[in-house]
Chains A and B, each alone.
Chain A
């Protein structure tokens, strides 16, 4: 029969799976403090924090970080606007072509990045647009829309329509209802979607390699370091930083979207 306690083997397999998922991340964190300069031997012969100072004094590292932050911010804003609009349009009404629109939103993230990347590159070439910051942003915004859309549409579906009707019955006009009922309710979902979109854009590599031209956002900088191994310690430090920069918004997004059933009258 189904017992209430998990068997020892299941526990080992489950926790073992978690260890497997986190061990490489732990290794990245460990090697960022490695004193050894050119090898990956384990265990590291000693630990130091000096590489952080070295990494942060490198102009190319700083340029790449700033560029990635800039791209992620612009792409996130575009994705938040388009994703929220799409969610507002699609969550309630059924109409001809709705399924195709949803599919179209998902496609850039469902198809391998290489297809999206090459398609954008071929279009830019045809139109004689030279690759640069703007082309990277266009690519990122396109696949980030669905992230915001998913978060916002889930919140829309969870929001009871009776809240909106109540507001209208009590004499609020459409704008007031939007301003005081819908927007406060959507806010955290939009923010969470934006955070995830930011994380996704900040470390996206595959589409970026096609649209970046000569620009070097952080993931491309990292990739260049890997295929031509030099200054290993700086690479280790940057890898740790990229990981932290993407983890923090993801954690925040989780905190923003968990719960939320406490809005009065939102039960269905």
Chain B
């Protein structure tokens, strides 16, 4: 506290008051004071952890003694391209893309109705109805699906009720997506993923459509476009940033998940399972660390693609 500051200020009552005046006059110091605790926490806990993980991906794991030595090597990264490991990457990537696409398809009508037709109470209802499942427990939602897909469970009961057994048999018979039962098939796993991440897709699309000015739609119809052409040439292009923003979540969340693949679907590891198995059962932390780089790289590539679609403005 300097003398000049004391002279031109009215006499202050409390120490706190004087201190806050001092901060007001030195905004940079004030800013630093605010930033230090969060920066310390994130720097010491998070960034340091990420760097330590990256560093460990260069350590050597001895397959024979099952021990990690601190000799630096690129062997872990080379191993990622072995056919078995490459399969895991492709399997996870395919699922992430399929889930993103399908959830956009289901999410669009919900978001469209919310943004353009629902008003007042209906709109608030829709908003809460989408937000609640998004926040409810991930593990409980996954569990619910093991109940739904179980043999003689709800889904097969409904399919039987609707007389669609033949359709189910046909779907399960398709190689690649089928399996013995719904709960051990890729299509079952695909539904679970789509379900769990769907709200993350609805909300950004809804936000993008919400910003669409009604005058554009009137202009389109005034110029003679029928509803389909208006949708095709006006509404849909303007919704793309929202879809892209939503797909960031569905893509990245599917890519890193390792619980759903454990509970539903055929054997065959996902990226997340591989990371978990490597560090846990095998104790090969360097290989696990190298594997975590795969989703990071894939997400970075994905982000650079959707950035061009305007996803970042719609977040």
Binding site for B on A (CB under 8 A): 1-3, 5-6, 10-11, 13-14, 17-18, 20-22, 24-25, 27-28, 31, 39-43, 78, 81-83, 85-86, 88-89, 93, 95, 101, 104-105, 107-108, 110-116, 118-123, 125-126, 138, 141-142, 145, 171, 173-178, 196, 199-200, 202-206, 209, 219, 222-223, 226-227, 235, 239, 242-243, 246-247, 250-251, 254, 258
Contact B27 A93 (CB under 8 A): yes
A172 to chain B, nearest CB (A): 9
Of residues 1 through 51 on chain B, the ones whose CB sits less than 8 Å from some CB of chain A are 10, 12, 14, 16-21, 23-24, 27, 31, 34-35, 37-39, 41-42, 45-50
Q: Which listed residue (B116, B137, B272) contacts A246, Cβ 8 A?
A: B137
CA distance A2 to B218 in the complex (A): 7
Given A2-B217, A93-B27, decide whether A82 and B38 contact each other with a Cβ distance below 8 A. yes
**A223 and B42 contact, CB distance less than 8 A:** no
- Asked whether, in the complex, the Cβ of A25 is within 8 Å of the Cβ of B292, the reply is no
Take A27-B147, A43-B157 as given contacts and tell me if A205 and B139 are in contact as well, using a CB distance cutoff of 8 Å.
yes
Given pairs A17-B107, A122-B53, 15 additional interface contacts (CB within 8 A)? A10-B117, A40-B150, A82-B41, A112-B253, A114-B276, A119-B52, A120-B45, A145-B38, A173-B12, A173-B17, A173-B21, A196-B135, A200-B135, A227-B262, A239-B144
From residue A101, how far is it (CB to closest CB) to chain B in Å? 7
Question: Which stretch of B79-87, B126-134, B171-179, B238-246 is in the interface?
Answer: B126-134
CA distance A175 to B142 in the complex (A): 49
Query: Once the chains bind, are B128 and A254 in contact (CB under 8 Å)?
Result: yes
- Are B131 and A254 neighbours in the complex by a CB distance under 8 Å? yes
Q: Does B259 interact with chain A (Cβ within 8 Å)?
A: yes
Inter-chain CA distance A40–B181, complex, in Å, is 15
Instruction: Give the 9 A-B residue pairs with the shortest CB-CB distance, closest first.
Output: A112-B256, A174-B20, A1-B221, A13-B109, A14-B113, A203-B137, A24-B144, A17-B110, A89-B34
Contact B198 A14, beta carbon cutoff 8 Å: no
Rounded to whole angstroms, the CA-CA distance of A31 and B145 in the bound complex is 12
- List chain A residues, Cβ under 8 A from B45: 120, 123, 138, 142
**B202 contacts across to A, CB distance below 8 A:** 17
Q: CB distance A101 to B39 under 8 Å?
A: yes
Please, which residue of chain A has its CB at the minimum distance from the CB of B262?
A227
**Which A residues are in CB contact (< 8 Å) with B27?**
93
Please give me the residue from chain B that is nearest to A78 by CB atom.
B41
In the bound complex, CA of A174 to CA of B49 (Å): 38
CB-based A-B contact count at 8 angstroms: 267
Highest count of chain B CB atoms <10 Å: which of A20, A108, A120, A123: A123
Known: A82-B41, A93-B31, A247-B136. A175 touches B128 (CB 8 A): no
Residues of chain A with a CB closer than 8 A to B109's CB: 10, 13-14, 17
Q: How far does the alpha carbon of A251 sit from the alpha carbon of B145 in the complex, in Å? A: 24
Interface residues of B (CB under 8 A from A): 10, 12, 14, 16-21, 23-24, 27, 31, 34-35, 37-39, 41-42, 45-50, 52-53, 56, 106-107, 109-110, 112-114, 116-117, 124, 126-133, 135-148, 150, 152-154, 157, 195, 198-199, 202, 214, 217-218, 220-221, 226-227, 230, 252-253, 255-259, 262-263, 271-272, 275-276, 279, 285, 288-289, 292, 295-296, 299
From B48, B129, B138, give the contact of A123 (CB < 8 A): B48
Asked if B20 and A178 sit within 8 Å, CB to CB, the answer is yes
Alpha-carbon distance between A30 and B254 when the two chains are bound, in angstroms: 28
Say yes or no: A95 contacts B31, CB within 8 Å: yes
Complex: A173 Cα to B289 Cα, angstroms: 52
Q: Enumerate chain A residues within 8 angstroms of B107, measured Cβ to Cβ.
A: 17
